[in-house]
Structure 1
């Protein structure tokens, strides 16, 4: 079985580290020679977002599985625009990593995969368009994984606290679902093994206020948590503001059933416990 990857980001690199031995060949594209060197000995080509080489298109067409994590651009989606024909003409099943942001704001209500998509920000509207376009191109060969807030080794509240970057921002009633990167890897593998496509929410079991996560990490570290900061007093980046603009509790039961998932880290506490035990956030 051959794997072709468009976008070797944090989650995909973890997937390849955990499940790469299942593939006879792993190919794909990256934008920089430095990243390409880091991913050796995999069969990775450079792609600047314009025109891929003919040999790269051939690899995409001959793949059994195409895994896409590269986000859409401001205009046309590079993966769809430049690789769509090759992938459509081939036999590959496509696993597309999307976001739970496609559901928009539900003021803290519980939602699932039957909830209508209602993206509010441009970048999330682009995600919906790409999901729909891939679906129209390849139908049941498409598996969409809508991810919650991603954390894991090197990317977690423990590391942020140790670096002095963590802030305990409080917006009353606000909750988020998260997902450990190892459980994302398990979901990707479950989607690859499944014979038919679909769209599933890949989130943990416990939507929780963001300030609670910081406080729990501080407790593990034996330090005082940073002070609570009212949301309307904090200067946030546009990206951070977009996260706080949507409030929802997301069910994951359909993904567990369809993909055979047993989460290693069903709550943020389980994930942080394991990360702390592994040495994350220690001086």
Structure 2
């Protein structure tokens, strides 16, 4: 089998996981990152703002994987990271019609009353940042054979923000529905769909990448608090436990492509995460 040429546009944590997968297969991997000169083994890396790179710095490839992180959580930060980067890639690769996978977000679904969201639910971006993600998806879909992977809340190794808050005894906000996906499953979903694209299989224009278990935020926090051994003060009013907002997202379309989750619920993933967190705290 001929080796493939893959460009990772945004080689952070997720991009590194995808790069390592293709390197292990013997494929040629190129990567771009905004800062830092250390790239995964055997990856040909370029450091710089992708929007400012000349065509010569962006090689001809068989597949692009676009995984950006905004420098700030503002509309300006999102437009620079997502839309402007996507626009530069379409300028470079539209003539070749290079297929592209784009890591988007389930925030494009602005529904917030506990509804079930599936593959056919129309996105209604309520926040400006979500609208920019939708604009980016649409820009890519017009210009290239692209697939948006709409990821829910990503957790996993070294992602300790929620654990820190619970450990510190931060007051919980009103309960809501939440959707989670482990970092490893995001990488695996990217690689799974990438292989199908490279094999010429017909796929949808987007997939929801989230685990099998939409759950209330308080349930997740109670699980983490138990694993941490932290006491929590819960209200006596049973009604307070009912989620009053959020949404529940289905991953059925992704699973119908043959994908299986290594972490189908948050429980096993957070058990690993808390164990690593406590080990670091005691080191």
Q: Output the TM-score relative to the length of structure 1.
A: 0.81
Equivalent of residue 33 in structure 2, options 30, 33, 36 = 30
Structure 2: how far apart are the matches of 1:176 and 1:268?
Answer: 11
Structure 2: how far apart are the matches of 1:267 and 1:167?
Answer: 24
3-state secondary structure, aligned to 1:248: strand
3-state secondary structure, aligned to 2:184: helix
- Tell whether the 8 Å contact from 2:51 to 2:85 is kept in structure 1 after alignment: no
3-state secondary structure, aligned to 2:259: coil
- Tell whether the 8 Å contact from 2:174 to 2:244 is kept in structure 1 after alignment: no
Q: Which residue of 1 aligns with 2:55?
A: 54
Structure 1 segment 120-199 matched on structure 2, within 5 A = 120-138=126-144, 141-156=145-160, 159-160=163-164, 164-165=167-168, 167=170, 169-172=172-175, 174-194=176-196, 195-198=201-204, 199=206
- Tell whether the 8 Å contact from 2:114 to 2:244 is kept in structure 1 after alignment: no
- Tell whether the 8 Å contact from 1:131 to 1:144 is kept in structure 2 after alignment: yes
Structure 1: how far apart are the matches of 2:13 and 2:187?
Answer: 11
Cα deviations by residue, 1:182-209 (Å, 9 ceiling, x for unpaired)? 1111111121122234211000111112
Q: Which residue of 1 aligns with 2:209?
A: 202
Structure 2: how far apart are the matches of 1:265 and 1:281?
Answer: 21
Cα deviations by residue, 1:114-165 (Å, 9 ceiling, x for unpaired)? 1111001111100001101111112xx2111100000011114785369x45
Structure 1 segment 238-277 matched on structure 2, within 5 A = 247-258=246-257, 260-276=258-274
Q: Which residue of 1 aligns with 2:278?
A: 281
Q: 1:250, CA displacement in angstroms?
A: 0.4
Aligned length: 257
3-state secondary structure, aligned to 1:275: helix
- Tell whether the 8 Å contact from 2:22 to 2:29 is kept in structure 1 after alignment: no
Q: Which residue of 2 aligns with 1:233?
A: none
How well do the aligned residues superpose, as a CA RMSD in angstroms?
2.7
- Tell whether the 8 Å contact from 2:86 to 2:140 is kept in structure 1 after alignment: yes
Equivalent of residue 68 in structure 1, options 59, 66, 69 = 66
Unaligned stretches of 5+ residues in structure 1 = 230-243
Unaligned stretches of 5+ residues in structure 2 = 236-242
Deviates more, 1:110-119 or 1:203-212: 203-212
Q: 1:113, CA displacement in angstroms?
A: 1.5
Structure 2: how far apart are the matches of 1:245 and 1:52?
Answer: 46
- Tell whether the 8 Å contact from 2:23 to 2:43 is kept in structure 1 after alignment: no
Q: Which residue of 1 aligns with 2:115?
A: 109
Structure 2: how far apart are the matches of 1:9 and 1:179?
Answer: 17
Q: 1:48, CA displacement in angstroms?
A: 2.4
Q: Output the TM-score relative to the length of structure 2.
A: 0.81
